[in-house]
A = this chain, B = another copy of it.
Amino acid sequence: MLVSLGGNAILKHGQKGTAEEQAVNVQNTAKHLVALLRRGERIALTHGNGPQVGNILLQNEIAKPTLPPMPLDVCGAESQGMIGYMLQRALRSELESGGLKVAVVTIVSQTLVDADDPAFKNPTKPVGPFYSANEAKQLRESKGWHVVSDSGRGYRRVVPSPTPLDILEKETIIRLFETGTVVISVGGGGVPVIREKNGTIRGVEAVLDKDRTAALLAKTLGVETLLILTDVEKVFVNYGKPDQRALDRVTVQECKKYLSEGQFPEGSMGPKIESAVSFLSGSPGRRVVIASLEMAEEALKGTAGTTITN
């Protein structure tokens, strides 16, 4: 089983982002994950990195007069080290305290994308801090960044979100997973890289959708279950309307219909459902379960969350 942890498993909305807050959240997350391991599940883990890489980018920006800022790919790798460490430490604490001997490691991961991906022509994902109109102009001219007005709150850099094609460290991730190691990988979707014609691998300034990479990893690992843990109990249709309805069990066909109706917002449930469809299509034995962290065990039994199958 691949478990994809949402940002709130590490940092909750409204929190400041201190190391202590994150440690408490991650320890709680670890308790739930160890409960799954105790059921005999073999688990691979991946996670979001939005708030963490956002803070790292902002630190780079604020410290820019003193220190050269790191590009987005390097900041993403930093966030993989940071979150991987916190998860490893918490999981190992929880496992050792419970007398379980299971190895837990983080693999720093690079995700291959295509240099000709159309996303590079149309950057849409806002990253990093807000700028003034003046700063925005300067950054466009000095760095060639795409900096756009963000709904009246100022200007923000936008970067492409290309399609993840391959995980460069997959052989090792598969091998560790198959021998029972809890392997944490492709955090934040992995560091996006392209392969140039001469074989050189180059990091690119882009962001990956973690659930799209999770679907790729789930296929790569050959798991039957992709468990997406997020901050909602279930998937809803007609959300916020009088006829709002929670989905308990839903098919890929229904998901495709709902997607075409625009039922799921782009920034949140949309990519999760698209990733679910991508993982399930043509593979009858698979399922995607979307649930809150607290209800993960129930959801795997089918008594909570939303289960998507063929």
Residue in B71, B85, B179, B202 whose beta carbon sits within 8 Å of that of A74 in the complex: B85
Tell me which of A77, A103, A176 has the highest count of chain B C-beta atoms within 10 A of its own C-beta: A77
A79 neighbours in B (Cβ, 8 Å)? 78, 81
A172-B103, A172-B176 given; A85·B77 CB < 8 A = yes
- Closest CB of chain B to A1's CB: distance in Å? 20
- A68 in complex: contacting residue of B19, B105, B172, B201, CB < 8 Å: B19
Complex interface: stretch among A55-63, A133-141, A213-221, A294-302:
A55-63
**A93 on interface, CB distance cutoff 8 Å:** yes
CB atoms of A59 and B63 under 8 A apart: yes
Q: Is the CB of A86 within 8 A of B110?
A: no
Contacts of A97 in B (CB 8 A): 198-200
On A, residues with C-beta under 8 Å from B are 16-19, 55-56, 58-60, 62-63, 66-68, 70-71, 73-74, 77-82, 84-86, 88-89, 92-93, 96-97, 103-108, 110, 168-169, 171-172, 175-176, 179, 181, 191, 193, 195, 198-203
Contacting pair B199 A93 (CB below 8 A): yes
Contact B68 A16 (CB under 8 A): yes
Q: Which of B56, B88, B181, B191 is close to A78, meaning CB atoms less than 8 Å apart?
A: B56
Nearest 7 A/B pairs, CB to CB? A81-B81, A77-B85, A97-B199, A106-B108, A78-B78, A59-B63, A62-B63
